[in-house]
Amino acid sequence: MSFLITSSPHSNDFGSVPLMMRTVIIGLLPATIAGIVLFGWPALLVILSSVIAAVLTELAVNKIMKVEPTISDGSAALTGLLLALTLSPVMPWWQAALGAVFAIAVGKMLFGGLGYNIFNPALVGRAFLAAAFPVQMTTWAAPMFWRGVEAVSSATPLALMKFQQQTTVYSKLFFGNVSGCIGETSALLLLLPALFFMFKGLINWRIPASYLGSVAVLGGLFWLIDPTKYPDPLFHLLAGGLMLGALYMATDLVTSPLTPKGMWVFGAAAGVLVVVIRLFSGLPEGVMYSILIMNAFVPLINCYTRPRILGYPQKRFGRPVK
Amino acid sequence: MKTFAQGIHLKYNKTATQGKAIRELPAPKKVIIPLHQHTGATCEPLVKVGDQVVQGQKIADSSKFISAPVHASISGKVTKIDKMPHPCGTEILAVVIEAGEEEEPKARTVDSRKTDALRPEEIRQAVREAGIVGLGGAAFPTHVKLAPPEGKKIYTILVNGCECEPYITADHRVMVEKADEIVQGALLAARAAGAEKVVVGIEDNKPDAIERLKSVARKHSEAIVDVVVLETKYPQGGEKMLIKAALDREVPARGLPLDIGVVVVNVGTAVAIFEALTRGQPLVSRVLTVTGPGIKEPKNLLVRIGTSFKEVIDQCGGLCEDASKIIMGGPMMGVAQTSVDIPVVKATSCILVLRQRDIKEEKIYPCVKCGRCVSNCPMYLVPSRLAAFADNGKYGEFEEWGGQDCIECGCCAYVCPAKIPIVQWVRLAKYKLRQMK
Q: Of B249, B253, B371, which has the smallest distance from its Cβ to A319's Cβ?
A: B249
Nearest CA in chain A to B423: A8
Residue A322: inside a domain, yes or no? no
Distance from CA of B335 to the nearest CA of A (A): 7
Task: Domain of residue A125: give its range.
Answer: 17-304
pLDDT in tens, B384-403: 999 999 999 999 999 989 99
Question: Is it the case that residue B38 has pLDDT exceeding 60?
Answer: yes
Beta carbons of A8 and B333 less than 8 Å apart? yes
Residue A115: inside a domain, yes or no? yes
User: What pLDDT, on a 0 to 100 scale, did the predictor assign at position A106?
Assistant: 95
Question: Is it the case that residue A170 has pLDDT exceeding 80?
Answer: no
Beta carbons of A307 and B374 less than 8 Å apart? yes
Q: Does A14 touch chain B (CB under 8 A)?
A: no
Question: Is it the case that residue B152 has pLDDT exceeding 70?
Answer: yes
Domains of chain B: 1-27+108-359 (3.40.50.11540), 372-436 (no CATH)
Say if CB A210 and CB A290 are below 8 A apart: no
Question: Could you give the strand order of the β-sheet that contains B30-34, starting from the edge strand earlier in sequence?
Answer: B30-34, B91-98, B76-85, B52-53
User: What pLDDT, on a 0 to 100 scale, did the predictor assign at position A232?
Assistant: 86
Q: Of A1, A17, A307, which has the smallest distance from its Cβ to B365's Cβ?
A: A17
Rounded to 10 deg, the angle between the A260-280 and A287-304 helix axes is: 150
User: What pLDDT, on a 0 to 100 scale, did the predictor assign at position A322?
Assistant: 40
Beta carbons of B331 and A9 less than 8 Å apart? yes
User: What pLDDT, on a 0 to 100 scale, did the predictor assign at position A316?
Assistant: 38
Beta carbons of B380 and A114 less than 8 Å apart? no
Q: How many CB pairs under 8 A join A and B?
A: 179
Contacts of B326 in chain A (CB under 8 A): 3
User: What pLDDT, on a 0 to 100 scale, did the predictor assign at position B104?
Assistant: 65
Task: Report, as an integer, the average pLDDT of B341-353.
Answer: 93
Distance from CA of B306 to the nearest CA of A (A): 21
Q: How far apart are CA B310 and CA B300, in angstroms?
A: 16
Beta carbons of A115 and B338 less than 8 Å apart? no
pLDDT in tens, B369-386: 999 999 999 999 999 999
Question: Is it the case that residue A321 has pLDDT exceeding 50?
Answer: no
Task: Report, as an integer, the average pLDDT of A289-295.
Answer: 95
User: What pLDDT, on a 0 to 100 scale, did the predictor assign at position A178?
Assistant: 66
Beta carbons of B250 and A113 less than 8 Å apart? no
Residue B419's closest CA among A13, A216, A304, A172?
A13
User: What pLDDT, on a 0 to 100 scale, did the predictor assign at position B280?
Assistant: 84
Contacts of B262 in chain A (CB under 8 A): 321
Task: Report, as an integer, the average pLDDT of A14-27.
Answer: 88
Convert chain B into a string of H (helix), E (strand) and C (coil). Answer: CECCCCCECCCCCCCCCCCCCCEECCCCCEEEEECCCCCCCCCEECCCCCCEECCCCEEEECCCCCCCCEECCCCEEEEEEEEEECCCCCEEEEEEEECCCCCCCCCCCCCCCCHHHCCHHHHHHHHHHCCCECCCCCCCEHHHHCCCCCCCCCCEEEEEECCCCCCCCHHHHHHHHCHHHHHHHHHHHHHHHCCCEEEEEEECCCHHHHHHHHHHHCCCCCCCEEEEEECCCECCCCHHHHHHHHHCCCCCCCCCHHHHCEEEEEHHHHHHHHHHHHHCCCCCEEEEEEECCCECCCEEEEEECCCEHHHHHHCCCCECCCEEEEEECCCCCCEEECCCCCECCCCCCEEEEEEHHHCCCCCCCCCCCCCHHHHHCCCCCCHHHHHHHHHCCCHHHHHHCCHHHCCCCCHHHHHCCCCCCHHHHHHHHHHHHHHHC
Contacts of B156 in chain A (CB under 8 A): 321
Question: Greater confidence, A282 or B257?
Answer: B257
Domain count, chain A: 1
Task: Report, as an integer, the average pLDDT of A120-125.
Answer: 95
Contacts of A73 in chain B (CB under 8 A): 365
User: What pLDDT, on a 0 to 100 scale, did the predictor assign at position A151?
Assistant: 47
Cβ of A82: how many Cβ atoms within 10 Å? 29
Residue A5: inside a domain, yes or no? no
Contacts of residue A56, defined as CB under 8 A and 6 or more positions apart, other chains included, come to none
Cβ of B136: how many Cβ atoms within 10 Å? 26
Q: Of B368, B374, B414, which has the smallest distance from its Cβ to A115's Cβ?
A: B368
Beta carbons of A310 and B371 less than 8 Å apart? no
Q: Which of B199, B368, B375, B415 to mutate to test the interface with A (most CBs of A within 10 A)?
A: B368
Q: Which of B365, B399, B406, B409 to mutate to test the interface with A (most CBs of A within 10 A)?
A: B365
Q: Which of A1, A3, A118, A205 to mutate to test the interface with B (most CBs of B within 10 A)?
A: A3
Q: Does A13 touch chain B (CB under 8 A)?
A: yes
Distance from CA of B271 to the nearest CA of A (A): 24
Calculate the average pLDDT of chain B.
90
Q: Write the CATH number for A120.
A: 1.10.3430
Residue A81: inside a domain, yes or no? yes
Q: How many percent of chain A have pLDDT more than 70?
A: 86
Distance set, CA B259 to CA B116, B133, B145, B186, B249 (Å)? 28, 20, 11, 19, 11
Question: Greater confidence, A172 or B237?
Answer: B237
Contacts of B309 in chain A (CB under 8 A): none
Question: Is it the case that residue B230 has pLDDT exceeding 60?
Answer: yes
Q: Of A306, A311, A322, which has the smallest distance from its Cβ to B251's Cβ?
A: A311
Q: How far apart are CA B85 and CA B105, in angstroms?
A: 29
pLDDT tier, A319 (very low <50, low <70, confident <90, very high otherwise): very low
Distance from CA of B292 to the nearest CA of A (A): 12
Task: Report, as an integer, the average pLDDT of A7-25.
Answer: 87
Contacts of A1 in chain B (CB under 8 A): 339-340
User: What pLDDT, on a 0 to 100 scale, did the predictor assign at position A256?
Assistant: 93
- Greatest mean pLDDT among A186-200, A245-259, A276-290, B96-110 lies in A245-259
Say if CB B417 and CB B381 are below 8 A apart: no
Residue A10: inside a domain, yes or no? no
Residue A310: inside a domain, yes or no? no
pLDDT tier, A228 (very low <50, low <70, confident <90, very high otherwise): confident
List A residues 288-307 in contact with B (Cβ-Cβ < 8 A). 302, 306-307
Q: How far apart are CA B365 and CA B16, in angstroms?
A: 35
Q: How far apart are CA B147 and CA B149, in angstroms?
A: 6
Q: Does A68 touch chain B (CB under 8 A)?
A: no
Question: Is it the case that residue A87 has pLDDT exceeding 60?
Answer: yes
User: What pLDDT, on a 0 to 100 scale, did the predictor assign at position B424?
Assistant: 94
- Greatest mean pLDDT among A27-36, A103-112, A278-287 lies in A103-112
Residue A249: inside a domain, yes or no? yes
User: What pLDDT, on a 0 to 100 scale, did the predictor assign at position B170?
Assistant: 94
Residue A8: inside a domain, yes or no? no
pLDDT in tens, B202-218: 999 999 999 999 999 98
